[in-house]
Structures are given as structure tokens and as C-alpha cells.
């Protein structure tokens, strides 16, 4: 065997041996603690994986392997989130069956992940599109339905009038259908929702206990969007009849009814500054008042309402959009001042939030201010910041202020005013304190073929029925044509054999033809991995009681909201139904950084136009090679197929070896950071591996496997041996700690440091020949190879075998750290006089504070600074620092 790292000679062999030994099959020995490591459910794409993806899988593998070596039962499974649009589109394009396609793609992933040595238990793998899995997705859908958490109502879809199909948001670019180029319209059809709003408060509260990145928790909090405020009534002052378009009688009737609408505000303290109010265009009161208002207003409002229909809520709320609106020609009464304020209809107020109507306070709300400025409405400040002499420039929204221009409330703080006004309104019965959430119910319907069928049927009267358990799964039929139906419904609606069925009551029913969006499938897969082949239940209670929750969940921050929130919601529902032992599925969450690759762009030619934000035109690497240097711009882009800058695991393993790739991905940067892929960067790990091979080649001559039997007591060791043992034990502590913190870069650098210390020792002693040298060197080497195993498992096993040892290092125990051995003999103490560093000196580690103080004060240098000045105080930080303060 060569004394260099030559991966082609041994890596493949070890992967085969691991597979033959079924090394990574999950062990369920109930006497051991459990560890559940999981990566986000990947979607199998035809492009396969890049080394960019591996950046997530390798560190996860390191943690799982380490936990196993520490004696845990480890569950580390992998499966595929296989339903969804990309597979459906690939099926349409290639005229292939999507089920076959995703299995083929998944197999590629499996091959690639195996190639880089990831230790998954593949016996637990599944595809969310397998009937044996989606049967239980349907079963859980029913559970939600039976608990009143799944319902159907009219909701807007994106309609492509050319292709005659419903579009997903990602199929729309700049308001046009990506495929047909048609302007997308809105259409209202009945669709299925999950009532996640019922869980809003719990989803918010339980975030606190999670060991997740703070940023992600904050994004979830914002998405849930809890706000406390007051909801109160505004009475409309109906316009006098002679200016209206309808007959006197109808309008008089309306006046007699004294119509009113409710508004929601988080700033009731600013009510005296309300100079207008706004109704969302869809607000029913708009329609109610139209007959009473002057025709010119009524016409303008109708036109405005029509136009607003075309816009999405996101567009309407964009801060960059100029505010628009129209005067309704009617007024409402500000209950605090008793004065009339004009009612406007404007699309920056959304129907889906609060009450769909607001009191507008332009002095203290940006949006209202912009609107008032445009339409010439009064702006009345009613808050003054605490301590300010004058009211600063408007608008401002401080909560740290006192009320002004507010009658009897003047001088109250914002908080006092909020309370008093709420109490006053509650007393009169015109308003109440109220909590609102931004969170909306989860739209789950897709008018597509490639998804999990919704297990609902409709009888002749149109009443809904859940499909009985024993009739599950509702199979997704094989079909010839995956194109949508042309009337907006799923292609399933064109298959009579699917649509027509016998209901539980024996009568003819019609099946629901919408399928579920993929987020349903990925909201419980982590439960299924606990018991993946169960044919009687989604999973056994015993299995999830043992394995859940996931101890460490790893994936990209782009799923910060949707997937994580939905999975949390389903887990809570399952918990409420007695089907989950935990309320939160993922105890700890870690987000990996992206891998960036250098990507060539060509400078634009005469007359060529670039998209906004672009500096050049993306070109292939071949094209780049043929272009003059000054025509090229190189940029670091995310490694992805669409950028043509992908390095595949096959290429990297072929060129550098799997362990070199693994070490590089671990070592290159902290896990959460983005990294720039570089072939020079990988040389460091390769040199490290070469040195290990060389070391082991030499060590064959002196390695003593039974070094434990000859351990010498620490105090008897020579200085050099002591240094090496200390390094060995410090390395155990550091690597273990780093791996647990997911700090894989420092894990690898600790190994490298230990190898250096070891090298220095061997240089000093030459070939170990005394018993003492053989023992400490053998320990150092064995520990090094064991600690290396999670990161570079092929190399670790290979070198272990070269030392004449049997078995897989993975099956060996994780080394045990001895804190006594790791203790330093001597430490360096810094001495400051009045905060300035003046001297350093060494003392025995563990020396007490008194001794350290005496030594410090007796130092010549220190004395030269304290001479003649009395000493006021001495602060000792043991093992580190003495600070002397003179008077």
C-alpha cells in the first residue's frame, strides 16, 4: 500500500464492505438512548446532486456517525418528496410516467449519496408518491377533516387564459404565465384549506422553547403576525337622498338603519388624529352605500373595485407602490371626536386582515400619510415623543410618547391612553380589545395530476363524504395525458373511472379531483421514518414515542416559513389526537450556507440589453474559454444547473476522492456560511490525508494495539510524552464539542492540529522505541483514526486495517476524554497595571489566586509601575490575568 492518499485504491472497497455488512441499519436497542438526525426531505430532480448539496449531507452524516459511536441508537434516514410540479412538467416534456421518473431520479441521488459515503439506513427509504405512503397522508387529511381543520371555500386561483389552466405562483413571472406568456387573471373556484389559524397562538408560543436559529424563529413570528389592538364601530353618516342615484325610499331606509362598520387598530391612542377612514374595495359596506352616494362617486368606486380584483395581496401591500383610492362620497363618525371623517375606498387596505376597514391616522402611519398627502386630507398630530419640545416631522409612529390634541386624554402616555380608550369603548359597547393574526389558512388544493388525491367524495346532492379508511388509498390512476383539463380542473376530472365511484352509502358519488400540494406530504414524513413499512397504521405509537422528536434537523433557510410551520402544525394536530408524543417535531434546527461557484458572464455587445441587476450575459464554460479575457466577467453564483456551474459528486470523487471532498466541505468554512468552491482549497485536506497515510506507514513498525495494558501514570511521563497525551485528550474534547455544535470546520482543524503535535513529537523522539513512547504514540494514533472516522470514514477504516486491525472503526467506541490528562502543566498569566498590559509570566496550572497575586506583585517590571503608589485593588482571574489598580 502506498504511503499516500490514493482514493481509487480503497474507497470503493470500503463502501462495498459497509453495504455487505449492512452497517447503517438502524439499531433499536431500547436500553440505549436514541438520536434522530434528519435532513430536509429532498425533491428528486433529473439533474441529480451537485457538490453544493453535499455540504448539507456530509456534516449531518458526521453528527449521526458520532452519536452512533457514542453508543446511541441512531435513526438517520433518507427518502424523497416526490410529488409536485417539477416532476409533472418533466413527465409532460419527456412523455414518461412521473412515478417512474421520480424513482429513477431518486436512485441517482441514492447512488451519489452512497458514493460520498453517507451512512443512511436505506431500508427505511420511501417516496411520498408511493401509495403505501400517500395512503397515510390521506388518512391524516381525514383526521384534519374530522376535527374541523380541513374545509372547502371559494378562493382565487391564477388563471392562464391561453393555456386554459391554473398556474402555481412559481409559474408566473412578472404577472405573465411563464409558458404561454399570457397575462394571468384571477378566478374564484372552491378549494381546500387547512385551518392553521386555529393553532396560531400555539405556533407562536412554542417557538420560544426551540433550539433554532433566532432569525428563523423571528421570520415565523412575523409570518404568524400577532397583534393586539382594539376593534370598534364607526357609524356611517348616510348622504342626503337628493344627491344619490336611487329612489328616496331606499336611501331613507338605509339612513334609518344607521349602518356601521368595524375597524381594527393597534393604535387606538391615535384616534383623535383620525382624519379619514378606508374600506377595502371588497368590503360589503362599499356595495351597501353605493345606491346612496352621488352617481359620480358611485361610478368611480365601481371602476376602482373592478381594477382591484386583478391585483394580488402582495402587490397591494408593496411599499413601493403608489397609494391609490377613491372617495366614496360618504362620511363616518369618529366616535372620539364626534366629527365626520370622509370614507375612502383604497386597495392598500386588505379584506383578509382585521375587519377590512381602518381608521386612518396620517400623522402617525406612513401609508395613511402618503395617501393623505396625495388626496389633500388633513394631518393632525396627536402624539409627541417623550422629552421632545416640539412635534417632529411627520409621520412618526413612536410608542414612547404622550398624547396631545386629544381632549381629556392630553398628557397621557401612549400606553395609558390605549388602556383608557379601550375601557371607555368597552363601557359604551362600541369596541373591544382584540388580538389579530396575519397568518392565513393553508391553501392545500392543487388542480394538478401529480399529487396526493384528496380522499373526499360528493353525493348527488353535493354533500361531502370522507372516503372510509378501508377504501384508502384513493389511488392516483395511471393516465396517458398529464396536461391540465382546460377548464381549470385537474386532469383527473377527465377520467370517468376515477371521478365516478361508489360512496360509503352505496350510491354513486363523484370524487374530489383536486390533489394536495406537496407541503402536506412533507408535514409528517419524519413520523413515517420511525416505522416506514407499517401497513396497518401511519406508524406505531411505540415507534414515534421512542424516536420523536427529531434531535437535529438540517436544511436551507429558504424553507424558514412554509415547510417548518406546516410540519409544526400537523405535529400539533397529531399530538392533540394522541398520535404524537411531542408538540414540536424538530428540537434543533441548523441551516447550511450555500456553495457558490465561479460563473462566466460575457459583457453585453452593442445594442444588447440586460435585465435589471445583471452585469453580463451568462455563458457556458466552453464559450468562456473561446472569448477574450476582457470580454468576460466572473461572478460567484449559487452552484446550480441553471447557471451551468455545477460540479457533480462523481466528478469531485473521481478527481479528488470521497474523503478529500468530505473533509473539504467540512473544513472550508463554518456550516452556516456561504462558501466558494475551489479546487485549490481542496488541496489542504488532501495534504492532511497524505500525511496520515505516511504516518501509518511508519507506525506499522511500532503501533501497539494493546497500549491500554501498559499505561504509565501521568506523573511518571517525560515532558514530551506528556505533551502528546495532553494533545490527544484535548483533541477528544475539542472534536466532540465541535461536532455537537455543528462546527465542523473546527472539528477538522483540531484533527489537523493534533497531527502536527504528533509529528513534532515523532521528530523529537525518532521512531518510538521506549515503552512509554510506544504507548503514548499508539494512543495518539488510535484516537486520531477514531476521531477521523465520521469525517473521512474510508480513510479511517483503511488505515486501521493497515495497522493490522480488524473491523470497522464505526463500530468502535468514541474515545473518552480524560480532563486530568488534558490539563495544561503551566499557564501564562498577563499582568495589567491600571488596565495596561505590563508583563506576563508562567505559573503552574491550578495555582490559587493568592499565589498568583503574590507572584505578580513581586515581578520587577510590575514593581516599576507600582513603585511609590499605593495599591488600591488587585483583581485575579485565575489561569489568565492579574489587574493591579494603584491609588
Contacts to ligand ANZ by CB under 6 A:
227, 264-267, 270, 349-350, 353-354, 356, 358-359, 361, 364-365, 397, 436
List CB contacts of 220: < 8 A, sequence separation 6 or more.
203, 204, 207, 560, 561, 564, 565
Residue 820's CB: how many other CB atoms inside 10 A?
Answer: 8
- Report the SS3 class of residue 147: coil
Q: Measured from the CB of residue 153, what is the shortest distance to ligand ANZ in angstroms?
A: 19
**Cα(229)–Cα(267) distance, rounded to whole angstroms?**
7
| Dihedral sign for Cα atoms in the order 281, 283, 288, 289 | negative
Among candidate residues 575, 758, 724, 725, the one with its CA nearest the CA of residue 140: 575
Give whichever of 294 and 397 is closer to ligand ANZ, judged by the CB atom: 397
Q: Measured from the CB of residue 323, what is the shortest distance to ligand ANZ in angstroms?
A: 11
Among candidate residues 588, 591, 584, the one with its CA nearest the CA of residue 548: 584
Give whichever of 44 and 381 is closer to ligand ANZ, judged by the CB atom: 381
Q: Is 427 exposed, middle or buried (0-12, 13-18, 19+ CB in 10 A)?
A: exposed
Give whichever of 331 and 688 is closer to ligand ANZ, judged by the CB atom: 331
Q: Measured from the CB of residue 265, what is the shortest distance to ligand ANZ in angstroms?
A: 3
Q: Measured from the CB of residue 270, what is the shortest distance to ligand ANZ in angstroms?
A: 4
Cell triple for 814: 468514541
**Cα(681)–Cα(812) distance, rounded to whole angstroms?**
31
Among candidate residues 655, 708, 720, 647, the one with its CA nearest the CA of residue 683: 655
Q: Measured from the CB of residue 354, what is the shortest distance to ligand ANZ in angstroms?
A: 3
Q: Measured from the CB of residue 317, what is the shortest distance to ligand ANZ in angstroms?
A: 7
Q: Measured from the CB of residue 351, what is the shortest distance to ligand ANZ in angstroms?
A: 7
Give whichever of 262 and 753 is closer to ligand ANZ, judged by the CB atom: 262
Q: Measured from the CB of residue 285, what is the shortest distance to ligand ANZ in angstroms?
A: 13
CA neighbours closer than 13 Å in the CB half-sphere of residue 177: 19
List CB contacts of 745: < 8 A, sequence separation 6 or more.
666, 667, 668, 669, 670, 671
Give whichever of 207 and 358 is closer to ligand ANZ, judged by the CB atom: 358
**Cα(528)–Cα(574) distance, rounded to whole angstroms?**
13
**Cα(172)–Cα(157) distance, rounded to whole angstroms?**
12
Q: Measured from the CB of residue 417, what is the shortest distance to ligand ANZ in angstroms?
A: 12
426 φ/ψ angles, rounded to the nearest 5 degrees: -65, -35
Residue whose grid cell is 496520515 = 692
Give whichever of 222 and 620 is closer to ligand ANZ, judged by the CB atom: 222
**Bridge partners of 263?**
232
Q: Measured from the CB of residue 385, what is the shortest distance to ligand ANZ in angstroms?
A: 13
Q: Measured from the CB of residue 266, what is the shortest distance to ligand ANZ in angstroms?
A: 4
List CB contacts of 418: < 8 A, sequence separation 6 or more.
230, 267, 268, 269
Q: Measured from the CB of residue 397, what is the shortest distance to ligand ANZ in angstroms?
A: 5
233 φ/ψ angles, rounded to the nearest 5 degrees: -100, 140
Give whichever of 119 and 362 is closer to ligand ANZ, judged by the CB atom: 362
Q: Is 394 exposed, middle or buried (0-12, 13-18, 19+ CB in 10 A)?
A: middle
Give whichever of 266 and 583 is closer to ligand ANZ, judged by the CB atom: 266
Give whichever of 353 and 800 is closer to ligand ANZ, judged by the CB atom: 353
Give whichever of 434 and 448 is closer to ligand ANZ, judged by the CB atom: 434
Largest CA distance in the chain: 114
Give whichever of 369 and 449 is closer to ligand ANZ, judged by the CB atom: 369
Give whichever of 396 and 575 is closer to ligand ANZ, judged by the CB atom: 396
For residues 274-311, one letter each, b for 16 or more C-beta atoms within 10 angstroms of the residue's C-beta and e for the rest, the string is bbbbbbbbbbebbeebbebbbeebbebbbebbeebeeb
Q: Measured from the CB of residue 355, what is the shortest distance to ligand ANZ in angstroms?
A: 7
Cell triple for 643: 447557471
Q: Measured from the CB of residue 341, what is the shortest distance to ligand ANZ in angstroms?
A: 12
Describe the crossing of helices 793-802 and 771-788 by its angle, rounded to 10 degrees: 150
Q: Measured from the CB of residue 220, what is the shortest distance to ligand ANZ in angstroms?
A: 16
**Cα(760)–Cα(720) distance, rounded to whole angstroms?**
10
Q: Pseudo-torsion of CA 493, 494, 497, 498, nearest 10°?
A: -20
Give whichever of 237 and 366 is closer to ligand ANZ, judged by the CB atom: 366
Q: Measured from the CB of residue 367, what is the shortest distance to ligand ANZ in angstroms?
A: 7
Give whichever of 270 and 493 is closer to ligand ANZ, judged by the CB atom: 270
- Report the SS3 class of residue 834: coil
Sequence length of the chain is 887
Give whichever of 212 and 353 is closer to ligand ANZ, judged by the CB atom: 353
CA neighbours closer than 13 Å in the CB half-sphere of residue 161: 8
Q: Which ranges in 117-229 belong to alpha helices (H)?
A: 131-146, 200-205, 214-224
- Report the SS3 class of residue 429: coil
| 3-state helix, strand and coil shares in percent for the chain, rounded to the nearest 5 | 40, 20, 40
Give whichever of 278 and 454 is closer to ligand ANZ, judged by the CB atom: 278
Residue 151's CB: how many other CB atoms inside 10 A?
Answer: 14
Q: Measured from the CB of residue 227, what is the shortest distance to ligand ANZ in angstroms?
A: 3
Give whichever of 308 and 544 is closer to ligand ANZ, judged by the CB atom: 308
List CB contacts of 371: < 8 A, sequence separation 6 or more.
278, 323, 325, 344, 346, 348, 360, 362, 377
* Angle, CA of 781, 783 and 789, to the nearest 5°: 105
Amino acid at each position: 500500500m502506498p504511503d499516500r492518499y490514493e482514493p481509487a485504491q480503497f474507497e470503493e472497497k470500503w463502501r462495498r464492505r459497509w453495504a455487505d455488512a449492512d452497517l447503517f441499519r438502524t439499531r433499536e436497542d431500547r436500553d440505549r438512548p436514541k438520536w434522530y438526525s434528519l435532513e430536509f426531505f429532498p425533491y428528486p430532480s433529473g439533474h441529480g446532486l451537485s457538490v453544493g448539496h453535499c455540504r448539507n449531507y456530509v456534516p449531518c452524516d458526521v453528527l449521526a456517525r458520532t452519536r452512533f459511536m457514542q453508543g446511541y441508537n441512531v435513526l438517520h434516514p433518507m427518502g424523497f418528496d416526490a410529488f409536485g410540479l417539477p416532476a409533472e412538467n418533466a413527465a409532460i416534456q419527456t412523455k414518461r410516467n412521473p412515478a417512474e421518473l421520480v424513482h429513477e431520479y431518486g436512485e441517482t441521488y441514492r447512488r451519489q449519496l452512497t458514493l460520498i459515503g453517507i451512512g443512511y439506513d436505506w431500508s427505511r427509504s420511501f417516496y411520498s408518491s408511493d401509495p403505501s405512503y400517500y395512503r397515510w397522508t390521506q388518512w391524516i387529511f381525514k383526521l384534519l377533516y374530522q376535527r374541523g381543520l380541513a374545509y372547502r371555500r371559494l378562493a382565487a386561483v391564477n388563471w392562464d387564459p391561453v393555456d386554459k389552466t391554473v398556474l402555481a405562483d412559481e409559474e408566473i413571472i412578472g404577472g405573465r404565465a411563464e409558458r404561454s406568456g399570457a397575462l394571468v387573471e384571477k378566478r374564484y373556484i372552491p378549494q381546500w384549506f387547512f385551518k392553521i389559524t386555529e393553532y396560531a397562538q400555539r405556533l407562536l408560543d412554542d417557538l420560544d422553547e426551540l433550539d433554532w436559529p433566532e432569525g428563523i424563529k423571528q421570520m415565523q413570528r412575523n409570518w404568524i403576525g400577532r397583534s393586539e389592538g382594539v376593534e370598534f364601530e364607526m357609524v356611517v353618516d348616510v348622504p342626503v337622498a337628493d344627491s344619490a342615484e336611487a329612489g328616496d325610499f331606499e336611501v331613507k331606509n338605509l339612513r334609518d338603519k344607521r349602518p356601521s362598520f368595524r375597524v381594527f387598530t393597534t393604535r387606538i391612542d391615535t384616534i383623535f388624529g383620525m382624519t379619514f377612514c378606508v374600506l377595502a374595495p371588497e368590503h360589503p359596506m362599499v356595495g351597501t352605500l353605493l345606491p346612496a352616494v352621488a352617481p359620480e362617486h358611485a361610478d368611480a368606486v365601481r371602476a376602482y373595485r373592478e381594477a382591484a380584483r386583478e391585483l394580488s395581496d402582495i402587490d397591494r401591500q408593496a411599499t413601493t407602490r403608489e397609494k391609490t383610492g377613491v372617495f366614496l362620497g360618504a362620511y363616518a363618525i369618529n366616535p372620539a371626536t364626534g366629527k365626520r371623517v370622509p370614507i375612502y375606498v383604497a386597495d392598500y387596505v386588505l379584506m383578509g386582515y382585521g375587519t377590512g376597514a381602518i381608521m386612518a391616522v396620517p400623522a402617525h402611519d406612513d401609508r395613511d400619510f402618503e395617501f393623505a398627502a396625495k388626496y389633500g386630507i388633513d394631518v393632525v398630530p396627536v402624539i409627541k415623543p417623550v422629552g421632545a419640545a416640539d412635534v417632529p416631522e411627520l409621520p412618526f409612529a413612536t410608542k414612547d410618547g404622550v398624547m396631545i390634541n386629544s381632549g381629556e386624554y392630553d398628557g397621557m402616555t401612549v400606553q395609558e391612553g390605549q388602556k383608557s380608550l379601550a375601557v371607555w369603548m368597552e363601557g359604551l359597547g362600541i369596541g373591544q380589545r382584540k388580538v389579530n393574526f396575519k397568518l392565513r389558512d393553508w391553501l392545500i388544493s392543487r388542480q394538478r395530476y401529480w399529487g396526493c388525491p384528496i380522499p373526499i367524495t360528493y353525493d348527488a346532492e353535493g354533500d361531502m363524504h370522507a372516503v372510509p379508511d378501508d377504501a384508502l388509498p384513493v389511488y392516483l390512476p395511471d393516465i396517458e395525458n398529464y396536461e391540465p383539463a382546460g377548464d381549470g380542473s385537474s386532469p383527473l376530472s377527465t377520467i370517468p373511472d376515477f371521478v365516478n365511484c361508489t360512496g360509503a352509502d352505496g350510491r354513486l358519488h363523484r370524487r374530489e379531483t383536486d390533489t394536495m400540494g406537496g407541503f402536506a406530504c412533507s408535514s409528517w414524513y419524519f413520523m413515517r421514518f420511525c416505522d416506514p413499512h407499517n401497513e396497518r397504521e401511519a406508524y406505531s405509537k411505540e415507534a414515534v414515542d421512542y424516536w420523536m422528536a427529531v434531535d437535529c434537523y438540517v436544511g436551507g433557510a429558504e424553507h424558514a416559513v412554509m415547510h417548518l410551520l406546516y410540519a409544526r402544525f400537523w405535529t400539533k394536530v397529531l399530538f392533540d389526537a394522541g398520535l404524537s408524543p411531542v408538540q414540536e417535531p424538530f428540537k434543533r434546527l441548523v441551516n447550511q450556507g450555500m456553495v457558490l461557484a465561479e460563473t462566466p458572464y460575457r459583457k453585453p455587445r452593442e445594442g444588447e440589453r440586460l435585465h435589471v441587476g445583471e452585469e453580463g450575459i451568462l455563458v457556458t464554460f466552453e464559450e468562456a474559454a473561446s472569448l477574450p479575457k476582457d470580454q468576460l466577467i466572473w461572478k460567484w453564483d449559487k452552484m446550480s444547473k441553471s447557471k451551468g456551474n455545477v460540479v457533480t459528486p462523481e466528478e469531485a470523487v473521481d478527481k479528488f476522492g470521497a474523503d478529500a471532498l468530505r473533509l473539504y466541505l467540512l473544513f472550508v468554512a463554518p456550516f452556516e456560511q456561504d462558501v466558494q468552491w475551489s479546487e485549490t482549497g481542496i488541496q489542504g485536506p488532501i495534504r492532511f490525508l497524505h500525511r496520515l497515510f505516511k504516518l501509518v506507514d511508519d507506525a506499522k513498525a511500532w503501533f501497539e494495539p494493546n497500549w491500554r495494558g501498559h499505561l504509565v501514570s501521568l506523573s511518571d511521563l517525560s515532558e514530551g510524552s506528556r505533551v502528546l497525551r495532553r494533545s490527544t485528550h484535548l483533541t477528544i474534547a475539542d472534536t466532540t464539542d465541535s461536532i455537537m455544535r455543528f462546527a465542523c470546520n473546527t472539528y477538522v482543524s483540531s484533527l489537523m492540529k493534533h497531527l502536527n503535535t504528533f509529528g513534532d513529537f515523532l521528530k523529537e523522539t525518532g521512531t518510538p522505541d521506549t515503552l512509554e513512547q510506544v504507548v503514548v504514540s499508539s494512543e495518539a494514533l488510535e484516537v486520531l483514526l477514531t476521531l477521523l472516522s465520521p469525517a473521512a470514514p474510508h480513510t479511517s477504516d483503511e488505515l486501521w486495517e493497515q495497522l493490522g486491525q480488524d473491523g470497522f472503526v464505526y463500530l468502535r467506541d468514541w474515545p473518552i476524554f480524560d480532563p486530568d490528562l488534558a490539563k495544561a502543566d503551566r499557564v501564562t498569566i498577563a499582568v495589567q497595571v491600571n488596565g495596561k498590559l505590563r508583563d506576563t509570566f508562567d505559573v503552574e496550572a491550578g495555582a490559587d489566586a493568592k499565589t498568583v497575586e503574590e507572584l505578580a506583585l513581586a515581578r520587577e517590571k510590575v514593581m516599576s509601575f507600582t513603585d511609590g503608589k499605593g495599591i488600591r485593588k488587585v483583581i485575579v482571574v485565575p489561569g489568565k490575568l492579574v489587574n493591579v489598580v494603584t491609588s
